[in-house]
Amino acid sequence: MKKDATERRNNMNLNEQQQQVVNELSQSILLNAPAGTGKTRVLAARVAHIIAQKKAKGSEILCLTFTNRACKELKNRIIETVPEEGFAVTVKTIHSFCYSLIKEETKRQSDRYNDFLIYDDEDCKQILAAIDLTKMTPRPALPELQTFIEFEKKKRVIPGLRDFTNIQDDLKGWLSEYGEDLVWEYDIALADNHAIDFTDLITGAYEFLQDDAICRRWREKFRFISVDEMQDTSEVEYTVISRLFPDRNILLCGDYFQTIYEWRGSYPEYIWKEFRDGYQPLEITFTTNYRSTQLLLEAGQTFLFRLLGKVTVQSIYTERGISASKDPGEPIVLHKAGTWMEESRWIFREIKALPPEERLKTCILVRDNRQAKFIWMGITSHNQKYPQDQQLPVTCIDQFHLFKRQECKDVLAYLRLLMNKHDNLSLKRIVQRFVPRIGRRTVETIESDSYRKVGLMLSDFIDPLSHQTGDPYGLLLTALSQERLVVFDVESTGTDTTQDEIIQIAAIRLDAKGQVKDKFNTYVKALRPVGTSYYVHHISDEKLAAEGVPPQKALTQFLDFAKDAVIVGHNVTYDLSILQSELQRLGMSERADFPYYDTLDIYRRFYPTLRNHKLETLSHHFPIDHKPTHDAFDDILATAGLLMYAIDEKIRPIEPIRRAAMAIYLPLFAPFSRGMEELRRLSYQVRPIKVITSVMNDCGVKVWYQTHLDSSDESNHIDRLENIRKLYRIAKETDDAGQNPRDALTEFLKMAALSNSELDSMLAKDPKIPIITIHQAKGLEFDYVFMASLEDHIFPTYWARQKGDIEEEKRLFYVAMTRAKKRLYLSWHQGLGRQSYLPSRFLKGINLEYCEIR
């Protein structure tokens, strides 16, 4: 009764079209929802209705959207609407969902490291910059190469993928000849760092979902799926998520005329057609606008009719939108200035003219980052003529990329290195700024081909195992001679190391010749059913009930078997992670903190050119006796065979050369290695914010930034320490106390990597008037919106004009217009002398009867 009453209350203010979306649960829906039509509230109400009607539990509902901001807003709305079940609803961006899928399924693939990190665009630029591109003339900009690599990787998924790149013709010729090698080198470099990029998240998820057993498992997780902002979803992304659609109830929603990411591969025509043809959805269009005044809504619709064509618009929106507001609204303000400085002054004066309580409800939108900086400099110049308490609190686009700022990336580099000891990129960043006596030449020598050929990487020089024996493989060889090598593997109810349970542990202890000396193999009773994981390992619940031993007993027996051992496995970090997690969940005091070696890492180092490094591939490529079968015991026999082959063929023969190379530089890294080991131990015991505090205070970051200021000009000075404090506060706010410290740190790093902007959280803590790009403003609304720098050479962009395709630029202009709730201001400057600029051609799309000129 209580749930029914809550649902009635939530639905009271929904209009007829919105109610239809909420109530229709028997067939899939294609929802056209223009800006400001209450879509988020409807999505939350629909989730509540699904749960109230007992059509699905919260855990069986998946909601995907485009930005972290939209995720947070929708999740909060759902929890407000259904407080209990709402927490169980999965609300993620598509990239975050793919991350979860890959993280859970990596064990099954055995070719992708379980401890992988996500590299953002800046990290990937560093990877590319380290590749020899001397053959490329002229040398291209790195973003062009990144776009090419993204497209090439996605073509592996969809061979006939539409080309969304914007690469110059002279570069295309070079890429047609050398592009494949470039992608190959780039992927090897990522693998060396145990890292993946954003494209790998999508293509990796696609590869997993091609496996019928994996696809079935993920499809059965969710009964209802909603996908928002479909107009900005790429063809590849839709191909991935649509694998989950068969026999599920799907809600696809978006606004075709807000498509602004075609340059990244979004393809709404394809998605709309595929969904219509495949699922015959009920089509619903929202027509009531709850955001804008009547005038602003009419002006926006007129703009669409004029620039995109009435026939095109009415083919999707058969009815004109109506405003729920009774306020007719103020006219749009048009202003032509002489120079960019005069334009900035005009914007400054207009905002100052607003009532003080209204000023912080304002936003300044521009086409690109460069224009944002011009406007910011202009307003800052005018601000300085006023006392501090009378200045406008403006902030520029750069301030919202907190996770990409130098000082924050420095702190994140320490955290990433704690979670992934192979992250050479983070290590290089740290040692060149915070570690004395290690310079650029030292790093270049260690990263040279001569070191690579003997199996050495930069990260080996901080590995405690290297410092114990003088060789990263010294402990491996010693443990083999002392008969202390234990090869092990586990099978589990699933692949989530934080929740799934171990159902089989298999291990062998090797003698000095690599032969099996002792065996351990036990089945483990589990509280969770094996579910669809049965199709992978073929261990049934009945078998576990009959042959399994209690988990505490099984884990204790294994730890006794592996006492004083050095562990070996293929992608072994998964097995060690779930073992440690289950020990903690069972309240056992023991830790699975073994020294370990990974045959996946060994074979990637010494045989980097193989098509893949899966256990199955390696066992067929190299002359070993045993083949993997997904039975834990068979898999460890294959792993042991591969280990001994690598030792005999690579590791042992070049040991003297490797030791000599290590001896030159190893002492320089010793103090830093000890410090990182102390920090690593701390990361198991305390929350992420305590680790950040230790990085600041104990690793020299705070002292370094106190002594390295950016500028003596206080107006331009960047308070880098304050930015790190902001990072600390975000870590504190997002920390889930229900997770153990290491899992919480992993989650924080994932959030940092996938975050495009921290706009919401930063403005909530420190309200200011943001100067941002239109792309950054997607999903936001403001009472007063200033669209600045509307010159024709800026908007549309040069590249759009060169291509002869400005349709997306028109839609981007429309998106900017729809951010305004009360009033819209449009300004441009004409320049001086030879630098004379025309106003944007898109201004002709606005009917002057809705405007006033100032």
Q: Do 720 and 772 fall into the same domain?
A: no
| Amino acid at residue number 249 | N
* pLDDT score of 402: 84
Q: Which pLDDT tens digit goes with each residue over 335-367?
A: 999 999 999 999 999 999 999 999 999 999 999
Please tell me the distance from the alpha carbon of residue 263 to that of residue 550, in angstroms, as a whole number.
55
Query: Do residues 527 and 501 touch, judged by C-beta distance below 8 A?
Result: yes
Is 612 found in the same domain as 488? yes
Please check the confidence at residue 754 and state whether its pLDDT lies above 90.
no
Q: Does the pLDDT value for residue 214 go beyond 50?
A: yes
The verdict on 18 and 73 lying in the same domain is: yes
Entry pTM: 0.89
Q: Which domain holds residue 149?
A: 120-192
pLDDT for the residue numbered 713: 42
Q: Which residue has the higher pLDDT, 159 or 53?
A: 53
Q: So what's the pLDDT on residue 74? A: 92
**Which one of 286, 315, 334 terminates a domain?**
286
* CB half-sphere exposure, 291, CA atoms < 13 A: 27
How does 390-428 read in b/e, with b if 16+ C-beta sit within 10 Å? ebbebbbbebbbbbbbebbbbbbbbbbbbbbbbbbbbbb
Task: Give yes or no for a contact between 514 and 644, defined as CB atoms under 8 angstroms apart.
Answer: yes
Whole-number percent of the chain with pLDDT over 90: 68
pLDDT over 80 at 173, yes or no: no
What is d(CA 277, CA 189) in angstroms, rounded to the nearest whole number? Answer: 41
Mean pLDDT over residues 219-243, rounded? Answer: 93
Identify the pLDDT of residue 67: 84
Question: Strand pairing partners for 568?
Answer: 487, 597
pLDDT digits (tens, 9 = 90+) for 596-633: 999 999 999 999 989 889 999 999 999 998 888 777 78
Query: What pLDDT sits at residue 474?
Result: 97
Q: The tokens of 207 are what?
A: 């590869």
pLDDT value of residue 590: 82
Question: Does some domain include residue 111?
Answer: no
What SS3 string covers 284-346?
A: EECCEECCCCHHHHHHHHHHHHHHHCHHHHHHHCCCCCEECCCCCCCCEEEEEECCHHHHHHH
The whole-angstrom distance between residue 556's C-alpha and the CA centroid of its chain comes to: 38
Residues 413 and 487 in one domain: no
Q: What is the CATH number of the domain that holds 40?
A: 3.40.50.300
Q: Pick the last residue of a domain from 192, 222, 245.
A: 192
**Shared domain check, 687 and 750:** yes
In this structure, is residue 351 part of a structural domain? yes
418 and 552 housed in the same domain: no
CA–CA gap between residue 626 and residue 615 (Å, rounded):
11
Total domains in the chain come to 5
Asked whether residue 304 carries a pLDDT value surpassing 80, the answer given is yes
Please check whether residue 476 lies inside any domain of the structure: no
pLDDT digits (tens, 9 = 90+) for 455-484: 999 999 999 999 999 999 999 999 999 999
Are residues 672 and 561 part of one domain? no
Contact 28, 223 (CB under 8 A): no
CB-CB contact of 310 with 316 (8 Å): no
Co-location of 159 and 181 in the same domain: yes
Question: CB of 645 within 8 A of CB of 623?
Answer: yes
pLDDT on residue 606:
95
Tell me the average pLDDT across 120-136. Answer: 85
- Has residue 590 been placed in a domain? yes
The shares of helix, strand and coil residues in the chain, as percent rounded to the nearest 5, are 55, 15, 30
Q: Do 601 and 725 share a domain, yes or no? A: no
- Report the interhelical angle of 655-683 vs 406-419 (nearest 10°): 110
Instruction: Report d(CA 721, CA 727) in Å as an integer.
Output: 10
User: In angstroms, how far apart are the furthest CA atoms of the chain?
Assistant: 89
Question: What are the CA-CA distances from residue 135 to residues 128, 129, 138 (Å)?
Answer: 14, 14, 9
Bridge partner residues of 516 (DSSP): 510
Nearest by Cα to 29 from 295, 257, 226, 305: 226
DSSP 444-456: HHHTSHHHHHTT-
User: In this structure, are residues 248 and 215 in contact, taking their beta carbons and an 8 Å threshold?
Assistant: no
Residues 26 and 155 grouped into a single domain: no
524 lies in some domain: yes
Q: Per DSSP, which regions of 50-125 are E strands?
A: 61-65, 90-93, 117-118
Please give the average per-residue pLDDT across 582-598, as a whole number.
Answer: 88
Average of per-residue pLDDT across 118-135: 87
As given in the structure block, the two tokens for residue 575 are 């097995």
**pLDDT at residue 1 above 60?**
no
Q: What is the predicted pLDDT for the residue at 136? A: 64
Average pLDDT of the residues in 701-715: 71
3-state secondary structure of 496: coil
Average confidence (pLDDT) over 771-789: 93
Assigned domain for 662 exists: no
Output the average pLDDT for the chain.
90
Asked if residue 739 belongs to a domain, the reply is yes
Average pLDDT over residues 763-780: 85
Supply the angle between the helices 121-129 and 169-192 in degrees, to the nearest 10. Answer: 100
Residue 380: what pLDDT? 92
Closest listed residue to residue 772, CA positions, set 399, 358, 377: 399
- Predicted confidence (pLDDT) at residue 739 exceeds the cutoff of 60: yes
What one-character-per-residue DSSP string does 375-441 give? Answer: HHHHHHHHHTTS-GGGS--EEEGGGG-GGGSHHHHHHHHHHHHHH-TT-HHHHHHHHHHHSTT--HH
Calculate helix-pair angle for 16-23, 39-52, nearest 10 degrees: 40
Least confidently predicted of 100-109, 548-557, 576-585: 100-109
Residue type, 218: W
| Residue 799: pLDDT over 50 | yes
The arithmetic mean of pLDDT across residues 187-192, rounded, is: 93
525-543 average pLDDT score = 87
User: How many C-beta neighbours within 10 Å does residue 714 have?
Assistant: 7
- Alpha-carbon distance of 381 to 383, in angstroms, equals 5
- What's the pLDDT tens digit per position in 252-274? 999 999 999 888 888 888 899 99
CATH number of the domain that 435 lies in?
1.10.486.10
DSSP 460: G
Taking 90 as the threshold, does the pLDDT of residue 714 lie above it? no
CATH number for 606: 3.30.420.10
In a domain, 409, yes or no: yes
Q: For residues 307-321, give the mean pLDDT.
A: 88
CA dist 317 and 33 (Å) reads 10
Residues 709 and 794 in one domain: no
* pLDDT band per the 50, 70, 90 thresholds, residue 400: low
Both 219 and 86 in one domain: the answer is yes
Pairwise CA distance, residues 596 & 485, whole Å? 9
Task: State the burial class of residue 852 (Cβ atoms within 10 Å of its Cβ: 0-12, 13-18, 19+).
Answer: exposed
Domain end call among 653, 675, 705? 653
DSSP code of residue 648: I
